[in-house]
Amino acid sequence: MKRRILPSLNALRTFEAVARYNSFTRAAEELNVTQSAASRLVHSLEEYLEVPLFTRRSRRIQLTDQGEYYSRLVSRSLDLLEAGTVELMSSKAGKGTLSVGMLPTFGTRWLLPRLPSFQKLYPDVSVNVVSSDGDLDFTRERIDIAIRFGHGEWSDALVDPLMSEEVQVVCSPALLDQDNPLDEPQDIARYRLIDHSTRPYSWEHWFRSVGADLPHINWGPRLEHFFMIIEAAKAGLGMALLPTFLIEEELTSGTLVAPFKSRVSGPGAYYLITPQTKAGLPRVMAFRRWVLDQLK
């Protein structure tokens, strides 16, 4: 097994503090050691690296070019190590805060109604649900786990398929005009179609799937999220193409109706994505198990 080429952690901590303060005295005070001990540790680090990290003139010190480079590297590394340590300490036995990156409508319609059962199982975990549907960046978004729609192509992560998606055309019952009957899918060209801005080809996919020619489309409003499209359809602003599982309540109550019986499989699926760097955290493991159990 290859041996790591690393100096002592004490020497690195001392060097980082001296570089930050540009002073052995202040660094020694922070680390609760003597000034001579701090000086010896930094000197031992220079001997290990065989590189001078400071220039010393009289009672003043200054980082060398190599010291500047190494101080930035060591500082970032210690910050990362500290953050990971604090995170593990706060999450022992499944405790701590869990940040979940969630598609807005999926979170509202699917996750939140089920979330009480997770909280009952893990009362010490505080769940923070973050609206998230763009490019997935766990570090930038500060999230631990996410649910996304796509094709399962996320690197450096555990990717669990959750469910596929069936979509159907729906509208407000008041929108249906007896003078413009919807006997065939092609007849939908007589109505405005609500566009989903993050899925620009969904209507084209639907027409192709039902075997109809793509007509000249009379576009209605262009909206970003499914919950906006649901409300727009209920308000009579046009025909909407929506996942059936998101509108079960509206279909049952009659606030939305489906003029065609056909349902079309969407060109993607929902996935639970766990970054490899977080996969071993107890609270993340607990949430992943719980989500997958919801689908059994």
Give the pLDDT confidence score for residue 26 in this predicted structure. 94
Q: What is the pLDDT at residue 37?
A: 94
For the chain, list the strands marked E by DSSP: 54-57, 60-63, 96-102, 125-131, 145-150, 157-170, 192-196, 218-223, 240-243, 264-275
In this predicted structure, the answer to whether residue 94 has a pLDDT above a threshold of 60 is no
Q: What percent of the chain has pLDDT over 90?
A: 66
Backbone dihedral angles phi then psi of residue 220, each to the nearest 5 degrees: -95, -150
Segment (H or E) for 76: helix 65-90
pLDDT in tens, 179-212: 777 888 888 888 999 999 988 889 999 999 998 8
Look at residue 178 and tell me whether its pLDDT is greater than 70: no
Question: Which homologous superfamily does the CATH classification assign to the domain defined by 94-164+269-293?
Answer: Periplasmic binding protein-like II (3.40.190.10)
Picking from 71-80, 85-94, 171-180, 258-267, which range would have the lowest pLDDT averaged per residue? 85-94
Supply the pTM of this predicted model: 0.69
Residue 90 confidence (pLDDT)? 63
Residue 101, Cα to own-chain centre: how many angstroms? 4
* Pairing assessment for the beta strands 192-196 and 218-223 based on DSSP bridges: parallel
Q: Which CATH superfamily is domain 166-265 in?
A: Periplasmic binding protein-like II (3.40.190.10)
Q: What per-residue confidence (pLDDT) applies to 47?
A: 94
Higher confidence at residue 181 or residue 254? 254
Mean pLDDT calculated for residue range 250-265 = 93
Over range 289-296, report the average pLDDT: 94
Q: Average pLDDT for residues 42-55, to the nearest whole number? A: 95
245, with CB counted inside 10 A (0-12, 13-18, 19+), is: middle
Q: What is the DSSP string of 168-219?
A: EEEB-TTT--TTS--SSGGGGGGSEEEEETTSTTHHHHHHHHTT------EE
Mean pLDDT of the chain, nearest integer: 90
Confidence at residue 79, expressed as pLDDT on a 0 to 100 scale? 82
Question: The domain at 9-90 falls in which architecture?
Answer: Orthogonal Bundle (1.10)
Q: Which residues of 177-208 are buried (b: 16+ CB within 10 A; e: fewer)?
A: eeeeebeebeebbebbbbbbeebeebbebbbe
Dihedral sign of CA atoms 275, 276, 278, 279 in order: positive
User: What number is the average pLDDT over the span 238-252?
Assistant: 95
- 270 has a pLDDT exceeding 70: yes
pLDDT of 93 > 60? The answer is: no
126 φ, ψ (degrees, to nearest 5): -95, 120
Q: Which of the listed ranges 64-68, 154-158, 275-279 does the model predict with the highest average pLDDT?
A: 64-68
CA 2/CA 15 separation, integer angstroms: 26
Residue 256's pLDDT band (boundaries 50, 70, 90)? Answer: very high
**How far is it, in rounded angstroms, from Cα 100 to Cα 148?**
11
In this prediction, residue 91 carries a pLDDT of 61
Q: 21-58 as b/e, with b when 16 or more CB fall inside 10 Å?
A: eebbeebbeebebeeeebbebbebbbeeeeeebbeeee
Structure confidence at residue 1 (pLDDT): 63
**Predicted confidence (pLDDT) per residue in 70-81, tens digit:** 999 999 888 878
Please give the Cα distance from 137 to 120 (Å, whole number): 29
Of 18-22, 200-204, 264-268, which has the strongest mean pLDDT? 18-22
Name the segment(s) of the chain with CATH classification 3.40.190.10. Answer: 94-164+269-293, 166-265
Residues of the chain with CATH 1.10.10.10: 9-90
